[in-house]
Structure 1
Amino acid sequence: MSTLFSACNEQKNALTFDTIKVDAPFDMPTIQIPNFNNCEQFSIVNFGAVKGDKDKNALAIASAISEAHKIGGGTVVIPEGEWITKKLHFKSNVNLHLSKGAVLLFSGEPEDYLPAVHTTWEGMECYNYSPLIYAYECKNIAITGEGQLEADMSTWEKWFPRPKAHMNSLKHLYNLSAKNSLVEERQMVNDSANLRPQFIQFNRSEHILLEGVTIKNSPFWTIHPYLSKDVVIRNVNVYAHGHNNDGVDPEMSQNMLIEDCVFDQGDDAIAVKSGRNQDAWRLDTPTKNVVIRNSIIKNGHQLLAIGSELSGGVENVYMDNCEVLDGAKLGHLVFIKTNERRGGYVKNIHVKNIKCGKIDLGVLGIQTDVLYQWRDLVPTYETRLTPISDIYLENFDTKDVKFITNIQGQEAEPVKNIHLKNISCKSVEEDKHMHQNLIGFSDTK
């Protein structure tokens, strides 16, 4: 249950704020988001937008954003119809509103996302192609409406494979990050790196609302709040079945509410992260106070994933009343993954009232040696293990699973305090519980 308080401000064309109080099994701060109901609207048509002309449309959107920002708060309106564009960069106090029937189609040409911006790739900061929608150090921003954001995948899908040249670029970035080089030195736009941009990245921003829109396709992670605070994602429908197409990736972000959404993903539905290795240790910002509720998952690798980029720490995550539809290709309902390079920590994770059909693996997986292609690609420069503790799962109704829990802690850093209550599975194919290096486990009705 949440309570909404609207700031009282009758002044015409004024930006106001809504404060949302969210119930959670931890001390959840109130979240403040912008309310643009009393703000002036700016149709992109009045700034020269023409259907089918991405250059004019990109310029019109940028001009409308600047005008809304200049007056201290305004709504940029995308009218009905399809509007192809290039990158979109937010400024503070701006709402991007997609009218019913509007499609904002983002070009598939990489050069439309240059010059490179300060962004990230899988937990490492760098300069790369701009996210399709990018907010950097912005306050009071929103994306609203009943329209659709869509990515033209004609080039990005060709970049899904990871050839040797791409892996060499990743290796180079990893080494730069491990040596704490200046982020400005990590220039990753070249013919061989092909690091795909995120669709939406809120970078070092605060007071953010994403509500009502449909998002179709994504070059990389779909919605990426990064080093951001006070974020509400509500009534959003996401369909993205490309490589690394997570739904939402909160990373080193705090005070978030994700509710009433539908996720149809090629990767994890919700992937909670907090940076990788030395970069995250430098930034020293955990992801905390994240509530996810009342959402439907049609497909995805995991319902809730934590890691493997979790070096800044993850705490106070609460998922409630979510459903995985029958036929979804899902591995785990909750999956926590890390390795000897990550450090960080995971604690105080609560997941309850989950319903799902048959899934490929199990209810809870915790793996502490997940390195994928990185195992042999680059060395371990510094070993930091990840303390994982205080995980609470309650009221799960599932059909067929291979196991209920598979928890593989490390001898030097055992997993601690896993509590299951009322976990119902129609059938369990293998052992119910497979544990190694675990201290404190309960499974009760």
Structure 2
Amino acid sequence: MRKIYLGILTIGLFFNLGLAQEDVAIEKKYTKEIDRLAKAKKVKAAFSYIENQKNETTENHITLTEILAPPFKEDKRGVAFSKMLEEAGVDSLWTDKVGNVIGLRKGTSGTSGYVGIDAHLDVVFPEGTDVTVKKMGDTLKAPGIGDDTRALANLISMLKAMNKADIKTEKDVLIVGSVGEEGLGDLRGMKYIFNESGMDIDSWIAIDGGSMGRLSNAGLGSKRYKLVVKGKGGHSWGAFGLANPHHALGKAIDLFSQSAWDYTSGDISKTSFNVGRIGGGTSVNSIPFESWMEVDMRAISPKNLDEIEAIFKSSVEKAIKEYNASGVAGEVTYELIKIGDRPSGELSADVPLVQRSMAATEYFGATPSLGRGSTNINIPVSKGIPAVCIGRGGSGGGAHSLHEWYINDEPSEESIKLALLITLAQAGLSK
């Protein structure tokens, strides 16, 4: 059994957090399975088609990038992606109630359990952002050009190649443009698919991240809240002494920061907290009637995530009580609004999908490196459903910035071939 280094990765939205370094073996049976699959006549033909349609893939990449898809407003891009799926050829096609665009490619076995592969439609940028793609030599520049629009184009290329090569799978395959992966989208696309759609999902492959070789088999959990503190408001001089929501909010931040720091500095797996945004007030000489903040907490362990959440809630309650009892006139009230809940989870490296993904990565000459991220696989992994997140390939940088860039410098579109090979290994190549 060959030994592959299990590293800690940092790509796109994958975070450099808390996986111990160790040797992970790729079992010989999976290496042989991948080698045999890659040498199959129809698979080799599909690889050639992927190479030959490189320019089409780039055109699709640019077309999709120039359709802005802000959080909760992915509809226009979804329509364009749906049309591409239809033209590439699927057996059925639909958009579900939350906006996921789903193409079904039927298998031959009639057995239950879908194999899903997705890229997310949404980007972090708000309405009005200029997403015109600028070409500078071999570099494409535009907000969202990498994360995760390139992966959507990869899916279309993979589907076209499967159809041109007349590849049939044993299991049904879902090819999905998902919604709500970024920020306050809170994985709503995946939550609907796995919690409400009623679909029997056998396994899931997400394309989201950087270069080939980097694999995520674990989900980094997070909980996010908006704390809103309210008071009567008034003039800074004429109503001096009136309960001030900003002052109460400051006390809440102070108490939470102290308690959370003590907790996260203890003997636990990595856990983090952050006050990311603060707002409220009308003018420098007005006592505000409202103050708010948004808080992000993350943890590898579900237990630690629950505990840091409990610390936050108790700190807020204590701060408000102490502030109202401090001698101010009147009182402030508060409301906690949960704005994000991503579960943690981790799959063993022995899971067949993980093994196949590592073996397929090695087949293309890259060294597999397992890690943890906050991606679409958080949902299936937290439920014990086999899932991996793989890179979209190429080189890029400036993710989540207006200066994002992408270069397709990967030879022969190997990341697309990788996605195809993993999908076929999991779904089964029908004879």
Taking structure 1 as the reference length, the TM-score comes to 0.24
The structure with the largest strand share of the pair is: 1
Q: Which has the larger radius of gyration?
A: 2
Taking structure 2 as the reference length, the TM-score comes to 0.24
The structure with the largest helix share of the pair is: 2
